[in-house]
Structure 1
Amino acid sequence: MQNVIKSLCLVTFLAAVKAHQHASFSNVFNPLTDKRFYREKKSFLCIDGSKIIPFEQVNDDYCDCEDGSDEPGTSACPRGRFYCTNLGFRPHYIPSSRVNDGICDCCDASDEYNSHAHCQNTCWNLGQRERAYVEGQMRTLDEGLQLKQQLIEEGVLLWREKQAQLRELQQVAEDLQIKLEEHRRKKHEADRIKEQTLKALEAGDSSLLRSQNSTVTSTFKLLDINKDGSITVDEVQAKVALVHDEERVLSEDEAVALLGGGYQMDLTKFQHTLWDILTEGDSVKIRDTHGAPGVGEDPHLKAADRAAEWEATNLKKVEEAYETVNMEISDLRKKLAIDYGPDWEFLFLNSQCYKLKVYEYTYTLCPFNQVTQKSNAGTEVSLGRWGMWAGTPKNQYSQMVYENGEPCWQGGSRSTTVTLTCGTETALRSVKEPSKCQYIMDFQTPVACQPVLKQRGIHSEL
């Protein structure tokens, strides 16, 4: 009976050679490479070369070799391994101690050849399920790789667009820099004229005021209330007052006299008549904007004030535009400095956010920006800001790390590790908190699909 069992186990072991030509495991026996050791002959050499024993002692339920190689089909050796053929499913090894222990470890029941356990061969059903799963994974991978290629093409175009946008903004900034210098010069000049006008008024230098031709037009426009290009009697009465009797409104005759004897005058006539009278400032002056005369209402000074204010307003607008463009340039440069993958395939994730509700919390992942957690009560907590890629050396783009979130009540700051997995759509799949304030997320996206995965198919025996 012992010889029958020994032969049966040896046949089982050798059958694995034919059924699993590519099986290979470290630190265990390989049916393909070790077949020569189990050919029936007068003696058996332990695979580690430590001992030679009679071949009759192979599978005799007694451990003779230190490496357990003489007992591949029994549980005699503590270091022994039993090879499960598992035709129709995945072959594998189990410790020899599990052979004939009454528990079915091999799906083909080959490990319980001499026990009272009633094992059924489930390898085919297991193989079918795994084949269906792997086929589904392969279909997902194929579709994901196709979508990834599209995203790569979009990423390249988007990268070029952003580079062009950066160049355009830089050109706008250069143009605004030139305008900024010009408006600064104009404001400085307007401030200088205003200062000179004020000094001239204080010194009573009317000849200097008359040399300021620009104030003539400004004063004319101030008096021309209805903006029809002429000054009338009514407009003179409304805007001009006597220096020594500011409250009294000029009579019609007085207004006509100021208009040179007529009832209206244009800019040319104004410059040679009423302008000179106003410039002298001895008899009449211009009322303030509210219709009442007051101190410091000289038309020259008012014109200089308006010119200075105008230039100051223009300068402020250009400064704000210049600052805005520079902020846009800085923001765009920061975005372009991020590693979006070798083909910019992850670029489309920038400025996007993905949400997932888990119980009473809503988690939001904004790639290359931040991760947040929001409760039903509306309280939002930062779980970290974009830090770096932290994948394996073979695939550094398989994990993202978000650091320096809000502090935990126990100290330290919150952080999140995001694992990217292959899928046909881009979505946040799961969120867990394995340790206090340390979060992990599963983020599915086609750009995480790797062509190398297609080489990891199931064995042909499935």
Structure 2
Amino acid sequence: MLQVDIDSTRTFEAVSLAIECCQCTVHSDMHLYTILVAIFWCGSVDSRKIRGISSSYKRFYREKKSYLCLDGSKIIPFEQVNDDYCDCEDGSDEPGTSACPGGRFYCTNLGFRPRYIPSSRVNDGICDCCDASDEYNSHTRCQNSCRNLGQRERAAVEGQMRNLDEGLRLKQQLIEEGVLLWREKQAQLRDLQQVAEDLQIRLEGHRRRTQGADRLKELQAGDNDAQTLTKWKSGITQKNNTVSSVFQVLDSNKDGSLTADEIQAKVFIQDQEQGLSQDEAMALLGGRHQMNLALFQLTLWDSLRAGDRLKIKGAHGTQGSLGGEETHIKAVDREWEASDMKKLEDAYDTVNMEISDLQRKLTTDYGADREFLFLNSQCYQLKVYEYTYTLCPFSEVTQKSTTGTEVSLGRWGMWSGKPDSQYSHMMYENGEPCWQGGARSTVVTLTCGTETTLQSVKEPSKCQYIMDFQTPVACQPMPKQQGIHSEL
């Protein structure tokens, strides 16, 4: 009994014979069996013709008298399609054979991902398609592994989706933490600016007192003309009537000078029951036994205004006010000594540096939702062979050898991703000069992950580095798919 294997290779002569059989006239019942076989062959021709073709191209390979090459360069008899001879320049007439050098064979791979392979791999004894369709006429026995591959791929995709969901959840948490951190830094900046302003006022007051004291010494030591000194004192009195009023309140006996006893009688410490001691009063007078108005204006008056611990009693010995308003006289602290002036200046410089650093941080681009803010002031390390690489986002990238030598691979420059994914790459520039080359630089690629870690470091070209940095804030929602054409 004749059996026909529709999946085996059919020679061109056999196909031609089958076609002729289909068109002949039956003259005898003895030929009935032959006719049935021929009809079966005729019905299977189309199946042979379209091997290696995707469903979207099948319309070009329907059974007809002629075939037009897909590039439009030639028309050939349809019998020459898949006849193991390349007729079309684009190789489109041999989708199921290896006859054309640039041809492609389509693997349907039902249950997995369809794909194209070079037609040179057809019947080469190696299973390239998971459905084994590329080895239809070879001695290699290929098993259909598409189902298992599809299951593994779907499991991997599901795992990636779970990681993505977890990454997006962590990203939202980091965004919320970033908002709080941003507000905290703004409040910190305002506090530092207020501290800087207070320090500046205190420094200016101290400088004025120092300059006044130096001027007074010059007048007392270098000018013995009483008239000149009196004129200078008179000018100060006219300049500030408030100073004169306070002096008169403190000068109980109206002799034009203040003593320790008068200071004790008029000045008291706020929120304390006891008055000033003799030593404290002498300290306010600068160690002197008495002080006139001019000296009071240049020294004690500014010192009293600088503090917030002391108040002046009214003319009758009770807490009162000068000019109808309560006068608060600020205390004199030992910080106004010459050595403490340097401390104030150092503190002022330190605060201003902190302000500048905070302002720089607050003007940095941390993403649309400031999701990358948490990376600031953080550093991540990875050891690769004899080197330890350190990435400090928004600061610097360094390389440290086992000998302890550290080299800068670039300082924070900018976000360097494409317009549709701006925050996917970081650029660090102007690192230490490379031997016989330019400055070192590093590009950091950010990828989605449930942890924030430095994954890999490579040097594809001399002194040009690439880092893979994984973090949840790099996770992005999957776009809605509008349709996928895997064949083109």
TM-score, normalised to structure 1, is 0.69
Tell me how far apart the structure 2 counterparts of residues 91 and 356 of structure 1 sit (CA, whole Å).
39
SS in 2 for 1:70: coil
Residue 452 of structure 2 corresponds to 426
Instruction: Report whether the alignment pairs 1:438 with 2:464.
Output: yes
Matches within 5 A, 1:130-169: 130-169=153-192
Q: 1:161 to 1:309 in 2, by over 3 A?
A: closer
Tell me how far apart the structure 2 counterparts of residues 360 and 77 of structure 1 sit (CA, whole Å).
51
> In the alignment, residue 49 of structure 2 is paired with which amino acid?
L
Tell me how far apart the structure 1 counterparts of residues 45 and 218 of structure 2 sit (CA, whole Å).
116
Structure 2 residue aligned with 1:360, among 381, 386, 394?
Answer: 386
Residue 96 of structure 1 corresponds to 119
Q: For residues 29-54 of structure 1, what are the alpha-carbon distances to aligned partners after superposition, in whole Å with 9 as ceiling and x for unaligned?
A: xxx2x222122223323223333333
SS in 1 for 2:420: coil
Q: 1:328 to 1:356 in 2, by over 3 A?
A: same
Q: 1:204 to 1:170 in 2, by over 3 A?
A: closer
Tell me how far apart the structure 2 counterparts of residues 144 and 457 of structure 1 sit (CA, whole Å).
26
Q: 1:229 to 1:333 in 2, by over 3 A?
A: closer
Q: 1:212 to 1:52 in 2, by over 3 A?
A: farther
Residue 411 of structure 2 corresponds to 385
Q: 1:457 to 1:439 in 2, by over 3 A?
A: farther
Does the CA-based 8 Å contact 2:257-2:290 persist in structure 1? no
Residue 151 of structure 2 corresponds to 128
Instruction: Report whether the alignment pairs 1:186 with 2:209.
Output: yes
> In the alignment, residue 229 of structure 1 is paired with which amino acid?
Q
> In the alignment, residue 429 of structure 2 is paired with which amino acid?
E
Query: How far 1:309 sits from its partner (Å)?
Result: 10
SS in 2 for 1:355: strand
Query: How far 1:442 sits from its partner (Å)?
Result: 1.4
Residue 300 of structure 1 corresponds to none
Q: 1:374 to 1:455 in 2, by over 3 A?
A: farther
Could you say which structure has the greater relative contact order, defined with CA pairs below 8 angstroms and 6 or more residues apart?
1
Matches within 5 A, 1:102-117: 102-117=125-140
Does the CA-based 8 Å contact 1:398-1:420 persist in structure 2? yes
SS in 2 for 1:94: strand
Q: 1:421 to 1:309 in 2, by over 3 A?
A: closer
Residue 351 of structure 1 corresponds to 377
Tell me how far apart the structure 2 counterparts of residues 457 and 70 of structure 1 sit (CA, whole Å).
29
Residue 313 of structure 2 corresponds to none
Does the CA-based 8 Å contact 1:183-1:314 persist in structure 2? no
Tell me how far apart the structure 2 counterparts of residues 440 and 161 of structure 1 sit (CA, whole Å).
34
Structure 2 residue aligned with 1:229, among 261, 278, 290?
Answer: 278
Q: 1:178 to 1:410 in 2, by over 3 A?
A: same
Tell me how far apart the structure 2 counterparts of residues 40 and 459 of structure 1 sit (CA, whole Å).
26
Does the CA-based 8 Å contact 2:123-2:137 persist in structure 1? yes
Instruction: Report whether the alignment pairs 1:49 with 2:98.
Output: no
Residue 347 of structure 2 corresponds to 321
Tell me how far apart the structure 1 counterparts of residues 441 and 355 of structure 2 sit (CA, whole Å).
29
Instruction: Report whether the alignment pairs 1:341 with 2:367.
Output: yes
Residue 307 of structure 2 corresponds to none
Residue 398 of structure 1 corresponds to 424
Q: For residues 408-439 of structure 1, what are the alpha-carbon distances to aligned partners after superposition, in whole Å with 9 as ceiling and x for unaligned?
A: 33343322221111100101112223333322
Tell me how far apart the structure 1 counterparts of residues 483 and 72 of structure 2 sit (CA, whole Å).
36
Tell me how far apart the structure 1 counterparts of residues 58 and 124 of structure 2 sit (CA, whole Å).
26
Tell me how far apart the structure 2 counterparts of residues 355 and 454 of structure 1 sit (CA, whole Å).
36
Q: 1:228 to 1:446 in 2, by over 3 A?
A: closer
Q: Percent identity?
A: 73
Q: Which runs of 5+ in 2 are unaligned?
A: 1-9, 16-40, 234-254, 265-275, 280-288, 293-331
Q: Aligned-residue CA RMSD in angstroms?
A: 3.7
Does the CA-based 8 Å contact 1:190-1:307 persist in structure 2? no
Q: Which runs of 5+ in 1 are unaligned?
A: 18-31, 222-226, 231-269, 276-305
Q: 1:318 to 1:454 in 2, by over 3 A?
A: farther
Residue 80 of structure 1 corresponds to 103
Does the CA-based 8 Å contact 1:134-1:458 persist in structure 2? no
Query: How far 1:457 sits from its partner (Å)?
Result: 11
Query: How far 1:140 sits from its partner (Å)?
Result: 0.8
Number of residues of Structure 1 aligned to a counterpart in Structure 2: 364
Structure 2 residue aligned with 1:198, among 221, 232, 255?
Answer: 221
Tell me how far apart the structure 2 counterparts of residues 42 and 458 of structure 1 sit (CA, whole Å).
34
